[in-house]
Amino acid sequence: MSAPSMILAIDQGTTSTRAIVFDADWRPRALRQIPLQQHYPQPGWVEHDAEEIWAATLQVCREAISDVGGPSAIAAIGVTNQRETTVLWDRAGGAALHKALVWQDRRTAGVCERLRADGQEPAIQAKTGLVLDPYFSATKIAWLLDRVEGARARAERGELAVGTIDCFLLSRLTGGAVHATDATNAARTLLFDLAERRWDDGLLARFGVPRAVLPEIRPCAGRFGETDPALFGRAIPICGMAGDQHAALVGHGALEPGETKVTYGTGAFLVMNVGATPRASKHRMLSTLGYSIDGEAAYALEGAIFSAGSAVQWLQEGLGVIEHSRQSEAVAQSLTDNGGVYLVPGFTGLGAPWWEAEARGAVMGLTRDTTRAHLVRAALESLAYQTADLLDALNADGAPRPSVLKVDGGVTANAWAMQFLADVCAVPVERPAFQEMTALGAARLAALGAGLIDSLNVPAADAPVRWAPRMGEDERARLRRGWKAAVNGVLATARAG
């Protein structure tokens, strides 16, 4: 019998849980997916059921493994996840003690504002590379420890565990044997010393997080443990782990300084590889870890857009102006211009470079001539404008203008939106033939960790689709002036409150 050669990638995202099996040539051989229910207990609060996530993970993995002939085909597992989303669970039984607090959740905005007013943000940013925002995990952890009855005392006694979704899944997959995370997920907590790549005691004290509750930090590739044999029929090594945006950076092969990718999912995340040394931002971009392997690291600058695909989802589910997301391309193309209409999708605040937690969405420029088509086009255009704002911030930080934007995610199937992105950003846009860059990155990390490959630098199997800029500079400048005026109106309203 030949040795197993396939990699199972678990991609646990904000709106779904997926399992993809890749063969030795990086071709997908099986894909299973289950949507994830969103919970909104109060305005600005977003939760997931961790037990639902685990049940879905188990189901999609079993189905995907069955699709390729059973567990004997799987050499290793890689895990990638929605970042910052935080779970608290009982170490003994593994049960989650509260619904997971999702990265979009804004319930700790007041805590962040008080810390900022106290002058603590500069020191925190210098240590972590991050800004003070409820987006990150530290204030979520403290909220759970303080709101779940008895949790803080139990955590200090070592009875509880806390972590991001990767960490929770690793614990469940190994039957509770391993409490660990990878360095990229740790880097999104506000508790991680970015240069030293370890938990920082000063940050733990500042946010009120006991060390006893936290996982061990490991590199992205290596043996994290093995699955409980009862889950899939045999023990399978888990050899790769990274947060979704970091995994996508690896999947795109953006391994050299200056290479840049943008993933358009529920939110959108631009990540630029900046090399072996952290690079501080003076323009509200995030300094973060690209990936960590064998004691070495690639650092990155990142811009987070909170609402991307979710803006199109809102048009479909909230307003009913389109029946499905695929319809948005034809609707946008039906107009010759945007009619002066701008949608600022601040549904859960505005991310980089604004970082305004209290911002809310707005539509500007409405007239009696405005139609549903203008709203659809404005939602798609907002992706490009927000991306251009991030590129401007990177440029102001001294980072080079990327020679190409490597893109992935559901919205990139919309060719009109991708051409508009290239036009507004004045940068060529490339979409890989295979879209699942996040899962592919997790699979490559797992293959490296299992010793199946000796480098992450794997050439793409198929040529990408490419869009070149063709908009004139005057038109680009006019459109961006309108966008900036709309954003300024949203910011003024948020700050007036």
Does residue 169 belong to any structural domain of this protein? yes
- Do 373 and 481 lie in one domain? The reply is yes
> Residue 190: which CATH number?
3.30.420.40
Count of alpha carbons within 13 angstroms of residue 266, beta-carbon side: 17
What's residue 409's pLDDT? Answer: 86
For residues 435 and 303, the model is more confident at 303
Confirm whether 455 is domain-assigned: no
pTM of this structure:
0.88
> Is the pLDDT confidence value at 278 over 80?
yes
Is residue 89 situated within a structural domain?
yes
Least confident segment among 384-398, 423-437, 453-467: 453-467
pLDDT band for 411, please (50, 70, 90 cuts).
confident
Same domain, 270 and 146: no
User: Which structural domain range is residue 29 located in?
Assistant: 6-245
Which of 113-117, 347-351, 489-493 shows the lowest per-residue confidence on average (mean pLDDT)?
Answer: 347-351
Domain boundary among 205, 228, 245: 245
Q: Do residues 299 and 355 share a domain?
A: yes
Return d(Cα 106, Cα 347) in angstroms, integer. 11
Same domain for 473 and 490? yes
Does 444 reside within a domain?
no
Q: Are residues 340 and 472 in the same domain?
A: yes
Per DSSP (E only), the strands in 219-361 are: 221-226, 237-243, 260-264, 268-275, 286-293, 296-305, 342-344
Q: How many domains does the chain have?
A: 2
| Residue 389 near residue 306 (C-beta atoms within 8 A) | no
Considering the domain boundaries, does residue 82 fall inside one?
Answer: yes
Rounded-to-5 percentages of helix, strand, coil across the chain: 35, 25, 40
275 shares a domain with 224: no
| Average pLDDT for 42-49 | 94
- Average pLDDT over the chain, rounded to an integer: 92
Q: Is residue 319 part of a domain?
A: yes
Q: Which of 191, 221, 245 is the last residue of a domain?
A: 245
- The reported pLDDT for the residue numbered 497 is 64
Task: Give the model confidence (pLDDT) of 356-391 as tens digits.
Answer: 878 899 999 999 999 999 999 999 999 999 999 999
Mind giving me the DSSP string for 199-229? E-HHHHHHHT--GGGSPEEE-SEEEEEE--H
| Section 165-187 average pLDDT | 97
Identify whether residues 72 and 31 lie together within a single domain: yes
Average pLDDT, integer, range 278-301: 89
**pLDDT band with cut points at 50, 70 and 90 for residue 461:** low
Strands 296-305 and 286-293: antiparallel
Q: Is residue 284 part of a domain?
A: yes
Does residue 275 sit in the same domain as residue 182?
no
**In Å, how far from its chain's centre is CA 456?**
20
Residues 20 and 72 in one domain: yes
Structural domain ending residue among the three candidates 203, 222, 245:
245
**Do 163 and 125 fall within a single domain?**
yes
pLDDT band at 260 (very low <50, low <70, confident <90, very high): very high
In a domain, 440, yes or no: no
Q: Are residues 331 and 208 in the same domain?
A: no
**End-to-end distance of the chain based on CA atoms, in angstroms?**
68
Q: What is the mean pLDDT of residues 184-198?
A: 96
The overall longest dimension of the chain from CA atoms, in Å, is: 71
Q: Determine what percent of the chain is predicted with pLDDT higher than 70.
A: 99
Per-residue b or e along 198-219, where b marks 16 or more CB atoms closer than 10 Å to that residue's CB: ebbeebbebbebbeebbbebbb
Domain check: are 305 and 203 in the same one?
no
pLDDT confidence of 329, banded at 50, 70, 90? confident
